[in-house]
């Protein structure tokens, strides 16, 4: 697959379902819309893959045929910072999701790490980190090639600050950085006010994890509503009262010459994914040197 910024939806767009599309049809339909990424949603799975290997392989074959980059979002029912039995169950859920992700040829399995709960933050994070090291070891022993994608989170009670995710990526083998820009905006009470705010995150990632990791980030984006506790609800890109502004992020993508995979989580998945694609194209064109006639 070529290195360029890719855009796609988090899940099957509602219009596809309305017209009776099956899962293997999704890559072709996305390609017809000019999109080239897709994040399969396994967010309510249990401790075993809840799709047939044959179906996963069909999706993967169609994705390769249409040059659509696949990712998978793992189960929401994961808490790697909880009691021992909860952590063990969570690890099995992650392995189940990673197994199906590997079947379909997804490059990353995105997941939420857990909750602080009644534990001190430092203890909860260490518990999470140790559990992820065990998951990584188990995945290698099973021959799973998909990367673990711990995601930056949007609520204050969740493990997954930018600092925590960077540390996980530094210490756990086989990880892929996942930046949810909307979550960072929400948990920091509207942190992205201008391009420099986005640039600051990019510079921190590059300093900690290196240029190649920065260039190939897996990202989630939408406008977002938040409360004092963080994330409340995702919104469309046209809802001007909410942030963050994708044009600012597009400026940073262009300036740093990044090629992230951008997954849209707005209520109008493929429509806003196309708007983000077009915004980046416009930014890149405006940065081209003007040729005198």
Q: Residue 5 belongs to what H/E stretch?
A: none
Q: What count of residues does the chain have?
A: 293
Q: Residue 105 belongs to what H/E stretch?
A: none
pLDDT at site 118: 82
The residues of the chain scoring below 50 in pLDDT are none
Determine the distance from the C-alpha atom of residue 118 to the mean position of all C-alpha atoms in its chain, rounded to a whole number. 27
pLDDT at site 18: 85
pLDDT at site 232: 96
Three-class secondary structure of residue 179 per DSSP: strand
Indicate the DSSP class of residue 39. Answer: E
Backbone φ and ψ for 231, nearest 5 degrees, come out as -55, 135
- CATH top-level class for 6-286? alpha beta
- 107 in Cβ contact with 77 (< 8 Å): no
pLDDT at site 279: 98
pLDDT at site 291: 58
């Amino acid at each position: 697959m070529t290195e360029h910024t890719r855009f796609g939806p988090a899940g099957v767009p509602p219009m596809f379902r309305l017209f009776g599309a099956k899962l293997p049809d999704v890559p072709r339909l996305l390609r017809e819309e000019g999109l080239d990424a897709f994040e399969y949603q396994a967010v309510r799975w249990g401790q075993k893959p809840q799709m047939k290997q044959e179906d996963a392989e069909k999706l993967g074959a169609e994705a390769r045929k249409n040059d659509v980059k696949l990712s998978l979002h793992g189960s929401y029912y994961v808490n790697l910072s909880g009691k021992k039995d909860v952590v063990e169950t969570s690890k099995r859920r992650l392995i189940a999701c990673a197994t199906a992700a590997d079947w379909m040829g997804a490059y990353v399995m995105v997941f939420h790490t857990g909750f602080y709960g009644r534990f001190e933050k430092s203890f909860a994070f260490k518990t999470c980190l140790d559990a992820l090291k065990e998951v990584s070891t188990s995945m290698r022993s099973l021959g799973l090639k998909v990367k673990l994608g711990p995601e930056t989170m949007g609520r204050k009670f969740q493990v997954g600050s930018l600092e925590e995710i960077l540390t996980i990526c530094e210490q756990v083998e086989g990880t892929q950085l996942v930046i949810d820009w909307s979550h960072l905006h929400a948990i920091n009470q509207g942190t992205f006010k201008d391009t420099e705010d986005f640039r600051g995150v990019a510079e921190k990632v590059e300093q900690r994890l290196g240029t190649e990791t920065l260039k190939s980030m897996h990202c989630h984006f939408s406008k977002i509503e938040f409360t004092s506790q963080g994330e409340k609800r995702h919104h469309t890109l046209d809802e001007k009262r909410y942030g963050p502004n994708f044009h600012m992020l597009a400026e940073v993508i262009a300036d740093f010459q990044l090629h992230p995979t951008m997954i849209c989580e707005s209520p109008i998945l493929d429509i806003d994914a196309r708007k983000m694609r077009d915004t980046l194209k416009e930014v890149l064109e405006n940065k081209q040197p003007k040729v005198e006639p």
